[in-house]
Amino acid sequence: MPTTDAGGAGAARVDVMLAIVDFPMLSTALRAVIDQEPDMGVVVEATSREAIVSQAKASSPAVIILEYEAFAAVGCGTPEAIEEVRSAAPGAKIIALDCRCATEQFSIALKAGAAGILTREALADDVVSAVRAVAAGHTYVSPAIVTRMVDTYVRGKPEAVDDPYDQLTDRERQILLLAAMGHTNRDIARSLHLSEQTVHSNRANLMEKLGLHDRVELLRYTVKRGLLTPSVL
């Protein structure tokens, strides 16, 4: 749960649990990234795979970063593990750290109850953005996965020439998906390493091209078109 940061004039701090026991160097690196932020900190690192559930229950973190593999590879959690951790710590938001960077694992993790998903290639800013996003109640998806989703969709489902979606650039398609998931312009700028003004301009352009006026219409568009499913949101 969020705690009060004594050095931050009463500001709430997001307590984070790291459940990455098979790769201690990765866990150490994540701790270093998270602990340097004034609004978050690691409160516990799982000591073993068997202890993850009990430690999650005892520490009541706001966010848990859990190493994850949809198809039960050695050394990674599974969708069942996500469900088990959620039951033990229902107040925690789970970020699945994808072991294989496979696009198809994105929806499986979210359906199992994860609030966000990061790939192993995530940068420090991506990790921080993910923690802040899920702690605020948003769904977070690594920009790398969004890019793959866009590429897969473009290759796999060609549309009519006059389809407004075809007018969007790859960058606008990335921003479309991230915005539909509830990311703010600032979140998107950090994730894609762009300026907020660039994100604002791209977002305005894609809204005009698609004839949309607000996020509700944008969300309906992405669901209707099959870019996102309600279970992901």
Instruction: Give residue 165's pLDDT band: very low, low, confident or very high (50, 70, 90).
Output: confident
Per-residue b or e along 161-180, where b marks 16 or more CB atoms closer than 10 Å to that residue's CB: eeeebeebeebbbbbbbbbb
Specify the residue for token string 């890019």: 147
pLDDT in tens, 42-70: 999 988 888 899 999 999 999 999 987 65
Give residue 30's pLDDT: 94
Alpha carbon separation from 1 to 46, 54, 64, 86, 108 (Å, rounded)? 17, 16, 11, 14, 26
Give residue 229's pLDDT: 64
Give the whole-angstrom CA distance, residue 81 versus residue 170. Answer: 34
Q: Which domains does the chain have, with CATH numbers?
A: 3-143 (3.40.50.2300), 159-225 (1.10.10.10)
Give residue 3's pLDDT: 60
Give residue 130's pLDDT: 93
Specify the residue for token string 């219409």: 217
Give residue 161's pLDDT: 44
Side-chain-facing half-sphere of 158: CA atoms under 13 Å: 2
Nearest residue to 69 via CA among 61, 59, 80, 77:
77
Give the whole-angstrom CA distance, residue 136 versus residue 88. Answer: 20
If residue 108 lies in a helix (H) or strand (E), which one and from where to where?
helix 105-112
- pTM score > 0.75 for this model? no
pLDDT in tens, 127-136: 999 999 999 9
Grouping H, G, I as helix, E, B as strand and the rest as coil, residue 191 is helix
Q: Which residue has the higher pLDDT, 109 or 84?
A: 84
Give the whole-angstrom CA distance, residue 199 versus residue 187. Answer: 10
Report CA 114 to chain centroid distance, whole Å. 9
Going 109 to 55 to 1 to 34, the CA torsion angle's sign is negative
Grouping H, G, I as helix, E, B as strand and the rest as coil, residue 90 is coil
pLDDT of 231 above 70: no
Give the whole-angstrom CA distance, residue 165 versus residue 173. Answer: 8
- Contact (Cβ atoms closer than 8 angstroms) between residue 191 and residue 129: yes
Give residue 150's pLDDT: 64
